[in-house]
Amino acid sequence: MCGIVGYVGPSSALDVLLGGLKRLEYRGYDSAGISVVTNGEIQTQKRAGKLQVLIDQLSASPMADAQMGIGHTRWATHGAPTDGNAHPHNAGAEQISLIHNGIIENFSELKKKLVSEGIEFESETDSEVAAHLLASEFANTGDFEKSFVSVANALQGAFTILAINKSDPGLVMAARRNSPLVLGVGDGENFLGSDVAAFVDYTKTAISVGQDQIVKLRADGFELIDFNGNPVEHEEFKVHWDASAASKGGWESFMAKEISEEPQAVGDTLMGRLDANGDVNLSEFDGLSIENLENINRIIITACGTAAYAGEVAKYAIEQLARISVSVELAHELRYRNPVIDEKTLVVAISQSGETMDTLMAIRHASERGAKVLSICNTQGATLARESDATIYTHAGPEVAVASTKAFSAQITAGYLLALFLAHATGKTENLNQLGKELLSLPRKVKTTLEMTGDVAEFANQLKDIQSVLFLGRNVGFPIAMEGALKLKELSYIHAEGFAAGELKHGPIALIEPGQVVIVLVPAPSSAESLHAKVLANIQEINARGAKVIAIAEQGDDEVAEFAEKVFYTPKTDPLLSPVLSVVPLHIFSMELAKAKGLDVDQPRNLAKSVTVE
């Protein structure tokens, strides 16, 4: 949560900061602000609301440009989204300016001390304590760098802080603990950002700043030190995507663009990992030697939100193909329930951002207990990848819309690759090549599905006044039902619940009353153990009670049309692989319904894309 950008160099600081904030706005959009130093004075502008409110204010009252500065886009934790609580926070009679992402857990104790020394606070944020602490240290020592290091050591919790000082306008200081920070290495200019999107317009060379590290950033260079002031090693990496990949490129929303990229996300995730015979090659496993895998007797998949539903699909695939016991645990639950984890456990963490704090805490907990950690991650240089023994990158490209779509398709695809790899590694090779070949056809089939679901928009428009939608699925359709419900909740603010279809009679059927919309993921007629017939029976049960049934079914399944008001068909595939196809109409449905209600599909209320606090 919160997007952070810092810059020192010859370009227009206002352009760099506002451009960076625009790309980071998906991280939080409650308020935005910037600070620069011009003519030896700190200038700050900040406003509650989306970044555009700040941009409009800057047009109305322009500020002088500068060659350095810091910018922030906020997702509120402590204090409402108001102008006063917006960052940056200035202190020491406008001597310094500071921005913060995270939660300062000891802010109350620090604040009491500062108040007792006569310092007046202007906001309700935890962040403002860091600004006053820094100003007061600097007033005592006259050494900005040392004061900054001392403040980093005094704070507890999760923080990325960036600070500038009007007496040294060529310097931006930054510190990172439990919160993301990357450095962009330019030519005669350098950058800081919550992720590479902040500066990818200017440089593709980046450094992932490690845990408990401090950056001294100047135009002609930078230094990384630890919290004791000792130099630390760093490694550069290249950003593999262009700025255009993180722009709308003519689409009306990022979400529409990202749904259209689902075929490519699946294809790029498979590329180089599956040959034409369906043989899988995951060189990423180098960090986890085969001997380690042979010792594994269980897998725990951990993630949050949509990523956890991708994990549920991976569970079906791994258990079916590799016959290894898998459980899926929400990361925030796993971490705090003293789970049975040891060196025979493989923990698979799934995250688009690789910065979800709950997921990071879960893998740290697992590593401390001796487990090997494999991550499935979409973001280069992310903390999750740095802290895992091995990483399978999903190559979905930057995902900007808060609601995850193409990253979800890529995560499921990576789960299939993992299942195939584990099945090979454990000698369960029967039918694997056939499934591998079918997996290779998925990008084309996802594209066909997109073409087949052209009328979802019209249908969603007719339903725009509904109050509640239920989603039913079975086997691999169950996590897709959960995903459909989550997407609808977060985008349309409509009550939506996903259920396992078999659970219906155990309670949820009481919710069915005439007119209730129920979206049913119908298993393919060829699916294991006649689930098709069982789900059709479920449809009849809810039809009998007046429900309005919308089905997602495999092409050629004419039987379902007899019982559903509307059927969205998907191409035939192996039933295990069907989630990548059946989720497409659900993603489009949630987007179209939100649009029909006049809502912002890229930035739904109260949400942020990366949840970097627990």
Query: 100 in helix, strand or coil?
Result: strand
Question: How far apart are alpha carbons 123 and 146 in whole angstroms?
Answer: 26
Mask for 461-500, x = binds ligand M6R (CB under 6 A) = -------------------------x---x----------
Q: Which residue from 194, 269, 306, 375 is in contact with ligand M6R, where contact means CB under 6 A? A: 306
- Residue 332 Cβ vs ligand M6R, minimum distance, rounded to whole Å: 11
Contact 43, 35 (CB under 8 A): yes
CB nearer ligand M6R, residue 147 or residue 353? 353
CB nearer ligand M6R, residue 470 or residue 586? 586
Contact 22, 603 (CB under 8 A): no
Interacting stretch for ligand M6R, rule CB under 6 A, among 98-106, 193-201, 216-224, 303-311? 303-311
304: contact with ligand M6R by CB under 6 A: yes
Mask for 31-70, x = binds ligand M6R (CB under 6 A) = ----------------------------------------
Q: For the stretch 252-275, what's the b/e string if a residue is b when 16 or more beta carbons lie within 10 angstroms of its beta carbon?
A: ebbbbbbbbbbbbbbbbbbeebbe
Residue with tokens 């620069």: 36
Starting at the earlier edge strand, list the strands of the sheet with 345-351: 325-330, 298-303, 345-351, 372-377, 390-393
Size (the chain), residues: 614
Interacting stretch for ligand M6R, rule CB under 6 A, among 58-66, 221-229, 301-309, 562-570? 301-309
Query: 356 in helix, strand or coil?
Result: coil
CB nearer ligand M6R, residue 90 or residue 610? 610
Element counts in the chain: helices (H) and strands (E): 19, 24
- Residue 542 Cβ vs ligand M6R, minimum distance, rounded to whole Å: 27
CB nearer ligand M6R, residue 163 or residue 196? 196
CB nearer ligand M6R, residue 186 or residue 305? 305
- Residue 130 Cβ vs ligand M6R, minimum distance, rounded to whole Å: 26
Mask for 381-410, x = binds ligand M6R (CB under 6 A) = ---------------------xxx------
Which 400-459 positions form the footprint of ligand M6R (CB under 6 A)?
A: 402-404
- Residue 590 Cβ vs ligand M6R, minimum distance, rounded to whole Å: 9
- Residue 338 Cβ vs ligand M6R, minimum distance, rounded to whole Å: 23
Which 123-182 positions form the footprint of ligand M6R (CB under 6 A)?
A: none
101: contact with ligand M6R by CB under 6 A: no
- CB neighbour class for 335 (10 Å; exposed up to 12, middle 13-18, buried from 19): buried
307: contact with ligand M6R by CB under 6 A: yes
Active-site hit among 2, 257, 372, 548: 2
Q: For the stretch 367-376, what's the b/e string if a residue is b when 16 or more beta carbons lie within 10 angstroms of its beta carbon?
A: beeebbbbbb
Contact 375, 349 (CB under 8 A): yes
CB nearer ligand M6R, residue 268 or residue 490? 490
First-residue to last-residue Cα distance in the chain: 11
**Annotated catalytic residue 2:** yes
Active-site hit among 22, 406, 445, 609: 609
User: Would residue 28 be called left, alpha or beta, if left means φ above 0 and alpha means ψ between -120 and 50 degrees?
Assistant: left
CB nearer ligand M6R, residue 265 or residue 402? 402
Beta strands of 52-199 (E only): which ranges?
A: 68-74, 89-91, 96-104, 157-165, 172-177, 182-185, 190-193
- Residue 350 Cβ vs ligand M6R, minimum distance, rounded to whole Å: 7
Question: How far apart are alpha carbons 11 and 70 in whole angstroms?
Answer: 14
CB nearer ligand M6R, residue 489 or residue 566? 489
Residue 506 DSSP one-character state: G
CB nearer ligand M6R, residue 265 or residue 536? 265
Which 356-385 positions form the footprint of ligand M6R (CB under 6 A)?
A: 356, 359
Contact 586, 484 (CB under 8 A): yes
Mask for 338-357, x = binds ligand M6R (CB under 6 A) = -------------xxx--x-
- Residue 351 Cβ vs ligand M6R, minimum distance, rounded to whole Å: 3
User: Would residue 572 be called left, alpha or beta, if left means φ above 0 and alpha means ψ between -120 and 50 degrees?
Assistant: beta
- CB neighbour class for 188 (10 Å; exposed up to 12, middle 13-18, buried from 19): exposed
- Residue 160 Cβ vs ligand M6R, minimum distance, rounded to whole Å: 17
Q: Number of residues in contact with ligand M6R, rule: CB under 6 A?
A: 16
CB nearer ligand M6R, residue 384 or residue 470? 384
Can you give 188-226 as a three-state secondary structure string? CCEEEECCHHHCCCCCCEEEECCCCEEEEEECCEEEEEE
- Residue 503 Cβ vs ligand M6R, minimum distance, rounded to whole Å: 22
Query: 59 in helix, strand or coil?
Result: helix
Q: Closest residue to ligand M6R, Cβ-based? A: 305
Question: How far apart are alpha carbons 372 and 81 in whole angstroms?
Answer: 41
CB nearer ligand M6R, residue 264 or residue 379? 379
- Residue 377 Cβ vs ligand M6R, minimum distance, rounded to whole Å: 8
CA nearest to 394, candidates 406, 402, 383 = 406
Q: Which residue from 305, 415, 473, 525 is in contact with ligand M6R, where contact means CB under 6 A? A: 305
- Residue 415 Cβ vs ligand M6R, minimum distance, rounded to whole Å: 13
Residue 240: half-sphere exposure toward Cβ, Cα within 13 Å: 11
Question: How far apart are alpha carbons 68 and 11 in whole angstroms?
Answer: 9
Chain residues binding ligand M6R by CB under 6 A are 304-307, 351-353, 356, 359, 402-404, 486, 490, 610-611
Catalytic residues: 2, 609
